[in-house]
Every structure is written in C-alpha cells, then in structure tokens.
Amino acid sequence: MAASRRRRILGWLVVTALLASAGEGLAQAPPTWPVVLASTGFTVPVASGIFFSHFGVTTEIGPLDIHHLRIDLDNPSVRLGVALAHDRLMSDDETVSSMVARSGAIAGVNGDYFDIHDSGMPINILVRDGVLLRSPWRFVALGITRDGTVQVVRFRWTGTLSIPETGETRALDAYNSGIAQDGIVAITDVRGYGAPPPEPGARQTVVELSPAYELNLYVIKPDSVTPAAPGGENNRFFVKQVWPQQPFYAPFPKGELILVGRGGGADWLSRKVAVGQQIQVSLTTDPDWREYQGVIGGGPILVRDGHIVDDPDAPAPQEQDRRHPVIAIGVARDGRRLTFVEVDGRQPNFSIGLTRLELASYMQWLGAYQAMAFDSGGSATIVARLPGQPAPAVANAPSDGRERPVANALLIYSTSVPGPPIKLLVNANQPLRLYAGAAFPLSIIGLDGQGNPVPPPEPLQVSASPPLVVYGGGWVRAGATAGEGVLQVQSGNAAGTTRVSVLTHLRRLVVTPEAVNLVPGAGWMFAMAGKDEEGHYVALPDTAGAWVVTPPWLGTFSAPGAFVAGERPAIGTIRAHLGGAFAQIRVAIVNSAKPINQFDRGDWSFRGYPETVTGSVALVATPSHAHHPSAQLVFNLDGSSNRAAYMITHLPIGGTPTGVTMWVYGDESGVWLRGTYEPSSGSPGSVTFARRVTWRGWRSVTAQLPPGLAYPITWTSFHVVETDPTRSPHGVLYLSSLRAIYPEHGARKR
C-alpha cells in the first residue's frame, strides 16, 4: 500500500459496508480476539463494484494490520478468474503481482498451498476457464460456477480408465498431480514435466495416448483435453506407445495424454494395454468440475451456513493455534458478494497475525455465510490498483520481507471504463478530527457515475468554514482554536465535503505497547493515539505530548515517542500527557544483549528488487557509534511497484534471542526499515525496525522476534522498502552497534 495511505490510518475512522455492517472500528471485535484497545482504517473504491479497506488495530497483546477487498459480482463489470504461475503446474512459481499484471486484472490474492521447496505444484484441484488442469486433493476449494456464483466446495476425485474392447475398468488415481507410487496418473503438457524415471527397483510403465479424432468426441483446448459435450464419458484415445521402465519427458504434443503407472499400476498397464488399442479416460469429480468456470484450492473451511466450523481435514492442523499471517474469503448467502481478508503477521512491532479460530471468528463477525482460508504465512498476499496508483501493487506487508512467488492466484477483473468525475470523495467520506496543531494528509478521490475512482481535475479549491484548518501541499493543518466546521473541496464541476473538528481536549490517550522489556541503551518507538469524548480517533501532532520518565535514570526521549533505555538495569514507568488525558507504560531494563561482532567485518552484498532499484553497501569508519564501524546502505528506490534495497548478510545468532537492536543514522527519507532472518526450520521471517525513517542523525531502534521460532537463527538482510508508487526516495542510512537481545537468564548457548 502507498506510504501516504498507510499514514492515513492514523486519522481515518473505520468505515466500510462489508457482508454485514461492521459499524465504526473494531472496538467490539470478535469474542475470540484479544481485547481491542483502538482501531483506525479507511475504505476506497478500486473500481465499480470493488472496494479496498485497510485497518490498523491495537490489541492488548499486539498490533494487527488488516486488509479487505470487497467484491460485488452482481456488478456486470466485475468477474473472477484463476491464474496459474507461468501457465504450468510445475514451475518456479510466480508472484501474485506478476500474474495480476500479465492477465490485465485489477486485483488478486494468492491461492492454493503448493510444493514450495520442490516442484512448485499446487496441491489441490485447479480449473481455469472451464478446463480441468489438476485433480482434487482432500482439502476444500473455492468454486466459481458458470453463472458466476461462488461456492466453498470439497471435491472428490472419481476418474477412471476403461478398455472398451474388454470392458475392464480401473480407477485413475489422479490427473496432473505427483506420480502415485502404486497407481496410475494421467498427465498432460500443462503439468510442465513428464514422467520421471522410477526409483531403483520400482516398476514403471508409461503409455502415450493420442485422441481418437475420428470419433468426433473431443475438442482440444489449450493445456488440456476436454470433452466436447457435458458429461462426455466417452473420452477415447488410441494407444500410441507403451514403454516399460522408461521416463517420458515434457514437452510432449498438446492434446496427448500420458498414463504413468507405478507398482501395481505399472503391472495393470503392462498386462492390459497394447499399441493401437482404444482406451477411455474419464476425468470426473463429485461434484462435477464441468459445472464450474474456475476452481482453486485452499483450506481449511472456516464458516459454514453462518457457523464457525472446525474443519476435520484442515491443512497443517498442528498450526491452528499459532499466530500467522492469514488470508481468507468470506461469501454471502447469495454467493455474489465476497470479502477477501488478509491479516499480516510474524512481525511483532507491526502485526502479530491471527490463529485459525480468530480468523474464523472474524469472518463470521463480518457476516460471512461461507468462508475458507487460502495458503497463508509468507504466501499471504493481496494486490490491488488503489486510487492514484498507475498499476496494481502489493497492498500488504508479506512476512518474508518481499512478495513470495506462489503456485496460483484468484484474480479480480473489471471491464468498467472510467468517465469524468461527478463528485469528490473527501477523506473517504469520514469526518476529520484533529488535535490543535496536527497536520493530516487529505485524501481527495474523484468518482465517476459508475463509482470508479478517477483523478480529480486540477486545480483543487479547498476551504474550511469556519477557518479551523488550512490546506497546502496535500495536507490540512489544524489551528490552535477548538471548534467544528465543514471542509469543502471543488474540482471542476465535481465537489465534495466532510466535517472537520479541532480539539484541545482528549478523553483518552492510547500508547502502545503498554509494557516493554529492553536492554541497556536500546531504543524503542512508542505509538500514541488520542480519542475524543465519543471514542473516535483524533489525529495528533508529530510532536504531541509530554513524556515523564520515572525514575529519571530509566532512560530518555530523543524525540516524542522515541525512547532510549538507560545504561543500567532498572524498572519504572513512562507517563504520557496530552490534552488532559494520560497513559502509563511499564518499562523494565532487565534483559541482556550480546554484540554481533561479525556484523562489523563488513561481509555484506547489495541487491535491489526489482531491477530498477540501485545502490551499494560499504563498511565505513564514520559516522560511527560507540567506536563501532558502520554499514553504509546507499539506495535509489526507482520504479512504481514495491521496491526494496537489501544489504544481504549471513549472521548466525546463537541462543534464543527475543529481538535485535542497533543504532541507525537516519536521512529523513521516509523509507521503511526492515530485517529478515531464517530459523533453523520453518519459513523465513521479517521484522520492522522503523515504519518510517523520519529522523536525521543517530537513533536506537529495536525489533522484536516472534515467539515459537526454531533456534538458532541466521540474520539474512537489512533493507529499506518503498511501497508508494508516487515516491522514489534516494538516500543513505548507516547501521551500527548491532546486538541480539536475550531474556534476563538468557539462553546464550551455542
């Protein structure tokens, strides 16, 4: 998501019409969730019938970053489609944003689980454009019927082989899947690779089939063999070749079908099938896949008939109680209104993720009649073309630190043609609530007659009555006088208004986190938000609040919210004051830290993503912190997609650290500073050191590691990220004094 839009989270109220009305914010969150302390968010149109929402939620155990795509399939300009990575089942996989771009879609989400470290193949059924590409596995799938209705379905494979000449029949184990070790699998060229050689001592038979064209029973469609009529049970082929104990490598002719038998399946083919013989192949499922225009796998099922369910056949059941990045789809009772939900995770300072029960409860709370999850973790990705963006882009923050290539995707298309704006959407139609002196980015979106977002014509005329705020450079700034009024915006013949309030008194301050454990000298950035008498969020000045540290040697503030722990163990409190309200934070400086000395050797390399990003890394003597050399990261984040400049490292960290802290010499570039690591087992992860580098000079930053990691870990990168396509920041950061944080009785064993 664009950085400017991420900043708007701090001021916009939650407003969205989901499957059922969710009201304002998440103050009344699902019952299985941790207590919600505060929430903000916004909703903007992507195209006619397509809306995007972004929510920032603060809970008692950590933050959540949530994204929605709401789809109205009753809108004739909106449809769904299925994409396959590189148009092959077995491939190096492909990012969702790439599949969205090359297909001309306007938005998309990742789909099925897949063989991530090997073939890249999706593990469940896939139907694309009415063509079966892969047979089903036991997990649930999302089906798009030929009339455009969406269903959560569990398909059962019923494929068979039969020899008309003898009347003999045998079950076909799968279609375009992995090779069954004691059965028979049918494959086409869309699988990407043919039949590998058998393992030593294993029996294998390969049969090459050509369609029986003269029977006039088939049409050959790209990437598959499909019967010409519904229910075509007479899919007859001629046996072209039979090879015992031989591999059969792709590519092979389109329209041909290959049967691969192993073990007992190999024996059956060797005994029953001969060159020139006819054989009938039935690619069938229950329910019949021919009733669907598209099908994509996933799981588990979360909600059925409006009730939360515990899927008895869920992927990775051992992880159901763990917090992860998650993605799911909710379907209304009519099957025509959809809400995709993505929640980032594995990033303690940014978003902690949800358990499966919490995700199911959230989908039910949103009003889903049916709901299911897709592949989550580092695969969880949501892509959309947001207003003002030149192209669709990743809207969430994948936990790998960059977008993960996946096996397939569910895409959203729009044929709506934007017209001239007839009205303006100002601040997402939500009131502006600002504390005196606060500045806030003003969102102004033109809407045409169909609800498409379009650029408002210049110049913009913005005025407030009474003049409580002033506008300039895309921002509104509150004056010193409290009051209420109306903000009016005119752009050509289009106009829009929103209410504006300026406050000098707050009912409540919310500072997160409410408690923190640090090591001596470590830095921490506290987030502060204000609420008015009705509990609505109020945008605060960047320099808001007074911060009182007790005892004084607990630490100091280098800037509002920017705390640096003292140099000796201590326990105390920080009390924040603003507008007659206060909040108290508990601070303990009791942990221990160990320098990661290998960092000072300068064993790094630079990598830009994508190719438009350039830069360099170097070990420099100045500026330095605490007599440590610094890592200089020079970056030029050119381009319009999500961009990142990486300082690639390989730093083994022993023991069981709970976080990492370092000093950063900032350049006020506004980039997002992150890091990545690899546990000894499981998926890589990422952490956030700073959501925006807004400072110049040295500042201590700290990133927490998520619980439950498989130790030891290896630190793999530090990197800066830009997601706003309208920004191309160039700059340089210096990193120094890297330390790993351990519990007080820290496990620092090697």
**Per-residue pLDDT tens for 459-510?**
999 999 999 999 999 999 999 999 999 999 999 999 999 999 999 999 999 9
Q: What is the pLDDT of residues 330-354, one digit of tens each?
A: 999 999 999 999 999 998 888 999 9
- Confidence band, pLDDT 50/70/90 cuts, at residue 457: confident
- The three-class DSSP label of residue 364 is helix
Tokens of 320: 């159901």
Where a domain ends, among 371, 396, 414?
414
pLDDT of residue 745: 56
pLDDT of residue 60: 87
CB atoms within 10 A of CB 563: 25
Query: Are both 206 and 261 inside the same structural domain?
Result: yes
Query: Are both 610 and 707 inside the same structural domain?
Result: yes
Tokens of 662: 């370092």
Residue 678 pLDDT > 90, yes or no? yes
Residue 222 pLDDT > 90, yes or no? no
Query: Are both 686 and 737 inside the same structural domain?
Result: yes
- Report yes or no on whether pTM surpasses 0.85: yes
Instruction: Report, as an integer, the average pLDDT of 186-197.
Output: 88
Instruction: Report, as an integer, the average pLDDT of 368-392.
Output: 94
* Structure-token match 């599949």, residue found: 99
Tokens of 219: 């049409």
- The three-class DSSP label of residue 268 is helix
Q: Any idea what DSSP says for residue 482?
A: -
User: At 452, which CATH number?
Assistant: 2.60.40.1080
Q: Please check whether residue 641 lies inside any domain of the structure.
A: yes
Q: What is the pLDDT of residues 398-426, one digit of tens each?
A: 988 889 999 999 999 999 999 999 999 99
Q: Please check whether residue 111 lies inside any domain of the structure.
A: no
* Average pLDDT over all residues of the chain: 89
pLDDT of residue 8: 29
Residue 26 pLDDT > 70, yes or no? no
User: At 663, which CATH number?
Assistant: 2.60.120.260
pLDDT of residue 591: 79
Closest alpha carbon to 307 in 367, 355, 375? 367
Lowest mean pLDDT of 141-150, 235-244, 296-305, name the range.
235-244
Query: Are both 402 and 437 inside the same structural domain?
Result: no
pLDDT of residue 557: 94
Query: Are both 432 and 372 inside the same structural domain?
Result: no
Query: Are both 392 and 440 inside the same structural domain?
Result: no
Closest alpha carbon to 20 in 531, 374, 371? 371
Contact 219, 246 (CB under 8 A): no
pLDDT of residue 255: 80
Tokens of 157: 């494979």
Q: Please check whether residue 730 lies inside any domain of the structure.
A: yes
CA distances from 277 to 165, 170, 186, 354 (A): 8, 16, 17, 56
Tokens of 369: 């009649």
Contact 564, 523 (CB under 8 A): yes
Greatest CA separation found in the chain? Answer: 93
How many domains in the chain? 5
Cα atoms found within 13 Å of the Cα of residue 547, Cβ hemisphere only: 22
Q: How far apart are CA 741 and CA 516, in angstroms?
A: 13
pLDDT of residue 296: 98
Torsion of CA 541, 542, 544, 547, to 10 degrees: 170
Beta bridge partners of 686: 676
φ, ψ for residue 225 (rounded to 5)? -110, 120
Contact 500, 440 (CB under 8 A): no
Q: Please check whether residue 672 lies inside any domain of the structure.
A: yes
Q: Please check whether residue 61 lies inside any domain of the structure.
A: yes
Instruction: Report, as an integer, the average pLDDT of 378-382.
Output: 96
- Confidence band, pLDDT 50/70/90 cuts, at residue 640: confident
Q: How far apart are CA 533 and CA 537, in angstroms?
A: 10
Residue 628 pLDDT > 90, yes or no? yes
- Confidence band, pLDDT 50/70/90 cuts, at residue 216: very low
Where a domain ends, among 389, 414, 439?
414
Q: How far apart are CA 47 and CA 92, in angstroms?
A: 32
Residue 22 pLDDT > 70, yes or no? no
- Confidence band, pLDDT 50/70/90 cuts, at residue 18: very low
pLDDT of residue 27: 53
Q: What is the pLDDT of residues 522-540, one digit of tens each?
A: 999 998 999 999 888 999 9
pLDDT of residue 227: 38
pLDDT of residue 257: 92
Query: Are both 720 and 659 inside the same structural domain?
Result: yes
Query: Are both 216 and 234 inside the same structural domain?
Result: yes
φ, ψ for residue 3 (rounded to 5)? -60, -40
Residue 160 pLDDT > 80, yes or no? yes
Q: Please check whether residue 750 lies inside any domain of the structure.
A: no
Residue 6 pLDDT > 90, yes or no? no
- Confidence band, pLDDT 50/70/90 cuts, at residue 320: confident
Query: Are both 339 and 358 inside the same structural domain?
Result: yes
Query: Are both 579 and 598 inside the same structural domain?
Result: no
Contact 593, 742 (CB under 8 A): yes
Secondary structure E strands in 458-603:
461-465, 469-472, 475-478, 483-491, 494-503, 508-512, 515-518, 523-525, 527-531, 537-538, 546-550, 555-559, 562-565, 570-578, 581-589, 592-595
Query: Are both 517 and 573 inside the same structural domain?
Result: yes
Torsion of CA 60, 66, 72, 75, to 10 degrees: 140
Q: How far apart are CA 213 and CA 493, in angstroms?
A: 63
Query: Are both 171 and 41 inside the same structural domain?
Result: no
Closest alpha carbon to 253 in 206, 220, 280? 220
Q: How far apart are CA 39 and CA 26, in angstroms?
A: 6
pLDDT of residue 253: 78
Q: 229: buried, middle or exposed (CB in 10 Å: 19+, 13-18, 0-12)? A: exposed
Where a domain ends, among 503, 526, 548?
503
pLDDT of residue 14: 27
Residue 20 pLDDT > 70, yes or no? no
Residue 2 pLDDT > 50, yes or no? no
Domain that holds residue 473: 423-503
Q: Please check whether residue 114 lies inside any domain of the structure.
A: no
* Structure-token match 């210096």, residue found: 734
Residue 248 pLDDT > 90, yes or no? no
Lowest mean pLDDT of 11-20, 309-318, 573-582, 590-599, name the range.
11-20
Q: Please check whether residue 141 lies inside any domain of the structure.
A: no
User: At 558, which CATH number?
Assistant: 2.60.40.10
- Confidence band, pLDDT 50/70/90 cuts, at residue 171: very high
Closest alpha carbon to 273 in 290, 283, 261? 261
Residue 707 pLDDT > 90, yes or no? no
